[in-house]
Amino acid sequence: MAPIIDTSKKPIVWVLGGPGSGKGTQCEKIIAKYGFTHLSTGDLLRAEVKSGSERAKTLTAIMEQGGLVPNDVVLELLKEAIVSRAADSKGFLVDGYPREKSQGIAFEQAIAPVSVIIYFEASSETLTKRLLGRAASSGRADDNEETIKLRLKTFLDNNQQVLDQYPDKISRINAEASVDTIFDEVQKILDPLVVGA
Ligand code: AP5
């Protein structure tokens, strides 16, 4: 099937990293500078849960257990969002996807090849500390000690397989650093993709 996005004009960037690695934080800065369309699979799923749709209950249960919702659900939400913004988007920032090997394969078949993958790397201790710090204010049902452990386990069980699949497209960034230092590294990766950045 032909790609539904011309990535020579609208790059597709996957943003990967463990829970709390700063994907959302860095995506905000990337949007401000590059004007990309931000698609966080976590946000798309939370919106679906709020909509009270038929599948919302199942999704809630999976997310509260820190597990992965079925691939077809995530890909459908992503594809709908990409198609609806394809005409006016400058590029897509896909945050939190793929989380397992088969998600990456399915995305590239259904949408287009990924241009670049940014991977934010941090220790489990740092990730846990950040999420527990955020728990007081986030209002997220999965920001509690028990679910954070399960989210980390899900991430550690799947992440290496995802990384192994794209050795030539991954740029690793040390996500233990400050927000601004990390963004300096992000810009070194994205500037070459964007003419005039
Ligand atoms: P999702 O919403 O994507 O959650 P997550 O991956 O656990 O990541 P977070 O959003 O919690 O953290 P983040 O990396 O964005 O960090 P943030 O910038 O907020 O997914 C939720 C659930 O949805 C999943 O568990 C799963 O069930 C489901 N799901 C999602 N995608 C799926 C998929 N593809 N397939 C199947 N299921 C899927 O930062 C965290 C905190 O740290 C903040 O307080 C921030 O201020 C702070 N911080 C950030 N950067 C720094 C820094 N450099 N130094 C110090 N503090 C920092």
136-156 pLDDT, tens digit per residue, is: 899 999 999 999 999 999 999
* Tokens 């090849």 found at: 113
Whether this prediction's pTM lies above 0.85 is answered by: yes
| Confidence band for 197, pLDDT divided at 50, 70 and 90 | low
pLDDT mean over 32-48: 96
Q: What is the pLDDT of residue 52?
A: 86
104 lines ligand 1 (CB under 6 A): no
**Is the Cβ atom of 74 under 6 angstroms away from ligand 1?**
yes
Q: Please determine, for residue 195, whether its predicted confidence score (pLDDT) is greater than 80.
A: no
Into how many domains does the chain fold? Answer: 1
Q: What are phi and psi of 116, to 5 degrees?
A: -150, 145
Q: Does some domain include residue 31?
A: yes
Cα 23 to ligand 1 centroid, rounded to whole Å: 6
Distance 24 CA to ligand 1 centre (A): 6
Residue 5 inside a domain? The answer is no
Which CATH number belongs to the domain containing residue 139 in this structure? 3.40.50.300
pLDDT score at 53: 84
DSSP lists the bridge partners of residue 94 as 14, 39
Mean local confidence (pLDDT), 40-55: 92
Average of per-residue pLDDT across 11-27: 98
SS3 per residue for the chain: CCCCCCCCCCCEEEEEECCCCCHHHHHHHHHHHHCCEEEEHHHHHHHHHHCCCCCHHHHHHHHHCCCCCCHHHHHHHHHHHHHHHCCCCCCEEEECCCCCHHHHHHHHHHCCCCCEEEEEECCHHHHHHHHHHHHHHHCCCCCCHHHHHHHHHHHHHHHHHHHHHCCCCEEEEECCCCHHHHHHHHHHHHHHHCCCC
Residue 196 has a pLDDT of 58
Mean pLDDT calculated for residue range 51-72: 92
Mean residue pLDDT of the chain comes to 95
* Interval between CA 142 and ligand 1 midpoint (Å): 10
pLDDT number for residue 119: 98
Answer whether residue 173 is part of any domain.
Answer: yes
In tens, the pLDDT along 64-100 reads: 999 999 999 999 999 999 999 999 999 999 999 999 9
Task: Give the distance (Å) from ligand 1 centre to CA of residue 1.
Answer: 32
Domain extent, residue 134, equals 12-192
Does residue 25's CB lie within 6 angstroms of at least one atom of ligand 1? yes
Residue 168 pLDDT > 90, yes or no?
Answer: yes
